[in-house]
Amino acid sequence: MILQFDLGNSRLKWRLVYTDGPMIGALEPESLESGLRGLPWAQISAVHMVSVADRALTDAVMVLSDSFSMPTCEIVEVNMAQLPEWFTLAETDPRQIGADRVMAMLGAHRRGDSYCVIDAGTAVTIDLVSKGCHLGGYIAPGLALSRSALGMQTARIGQVRPGVYSALLEPGRDTQHAVEHGARRGLIALCQSVIAEATPSLDRVVLTGGDAGWLAGHLHGVVEVEVDLVFKGLDQFFDALS
């Protein structure tokens, strides 16, 4: 059994694949040791991880995994110098792109396709790929960051409650709805413009992240939602190494 980690800016997620399907969970940095201790280490033969978290936190996960696992368990972090031969970052500097973004692109990959990956999380990342070649991307604040920024920088707005919105995103008649609808319309407009203007035209649009389900319903055309896209990318990355 392989244990996978996706260590992000705000969430530490793990996945175990059993014969009857995957199990996905999350860890809190404050209770990292107790959270890891509860995993079935006797059955885990390898630990594969991708991290954009603080280096100290990443190292702590690796050290604890080593202490809890069997002596034969292999613990490996993604190395951006070992990408599969069918995928290239081209002119993108591997030191200047999050490894989690790259794993999401690998997870969405189909040979010969041109596609867009949108990770709608704390930050929203949008990446374009054509025939295994990264064409570049965009990073913008996610909904939570937009709410937080407006709340902190604009005294009269105050704290914006998440989830207070109308599906129609009509003009807000109070501050809460005006802020929330503005943030959501801005995110929709950004994503839709990137999709519409993509060259070459896209075969697929793949969404992941906490706000993916909501966002998918507001984008034109057929979009796919993949909850565990980064983990699927880890599968692709390590399969290519073996």
For residue range 20-30, what is the model confidence (pLDDT) as tens digits?
788 999 999 88
Q: 181 lies in which domain range?
A: 83-241
Question: 182 pLDDT band (50/70/90 cuts)?
Answer: very high
Number of domains in the chain: 2
Angle, helix 229-241 to helix 99-108, in steps of 10 degrees: 90
Q: Is 52 found in the same domain as 97? A: no
What is the model's pLDDT at position 237?
Answer: 97
List beta partners, residue 75. Answer: 47
Domain boundary among 77, 103, 120: 77
What kind and span of H or E run contains 71?
none
Closest to 210 (Cα-Cα) out of 135, 121, 129 = 121
Residues 223 and 200 in one domain: yes
Bridge partners of residue 48, in order along the sequence? 4, 76
59 and 169 fall within a common domain: no
**Tens digits of residue pLDDT in 16-58:** 988 778 899 999 988 999 999 999 999 999 999 999 999 999 9
Give the integer Cα–Cα distance in Å for 94 and 96: 5
Residue range 146-157: mean pLDDT, rounded: 67
Comparing 1-5, 39-43, 149-153, 229-233, the range with the smallest average pLDDT is: 149-153
Paired with 128 in beta bridges are 116, 136
Mean pLDDT lowest among 161-165, 186-190, 193-197: 161-165
Give the mean pLDDT of 75-97: 96
Closest listed residue to residue 227, CA positions, set 87, 49, 24: 24
Residue 124 clears pLDDT 90, i.e. is over it: yes
**Same domain assignment for residues 111 and 172:** yes
Chain center to CA of 195: 18
Tokens of 176: 């809460």
Q: Which residues pair with 74 in a beta bridge?
A: 46
88 shares a domain with 21? no
pLDDT in tens, 158-181: 555 666 678 889 998 888 888 889
Rounded to 10 degrees, what is the CA torsion of 71, 73, 77, 83?
140
Same-domain status, 193 and 98: yes
- 8 A C-beta contact, residue 118 and residue 207: yes
Whole-number pLDDT of residue 163:
62
Residues 39 and 94 in one domain: no
Q: Which residues contact 141 (CB under 8 A, 6 or more apart)?
A: 123, 124, 149
- Based on the domain organization, do 32 and 90 belong to the same domain? no
Query: In this structure, are 73 and 87 located in the same domain?
Result: no
Among candidate residues 77, 103, 134, the one where a domain is terminated:
77
Alpha helices in the chain (DSSP H): 32-37, 55-68, 99-108, 143-153, 175-197, 212-216, 229-241
Token pair listed for 52? 């954009």
Please list the active-site residues: 100
Higher confidence at residue 159 or residue 93? Answer: 93
Q: For position 160, what pLDDT does the model report?
A: 57
Domain closes at, from 37, 62, 77: 77
Rounded Cα distance, 6 and 99, in Å = 10
**211 pLDDT exceeds 90?**
yes
User: CATH code at 167?
Assistant: 3.30.420.40
Asked if 35 contacts 77 with a C-beta cutoff of 8 angstroms, the reply is: no
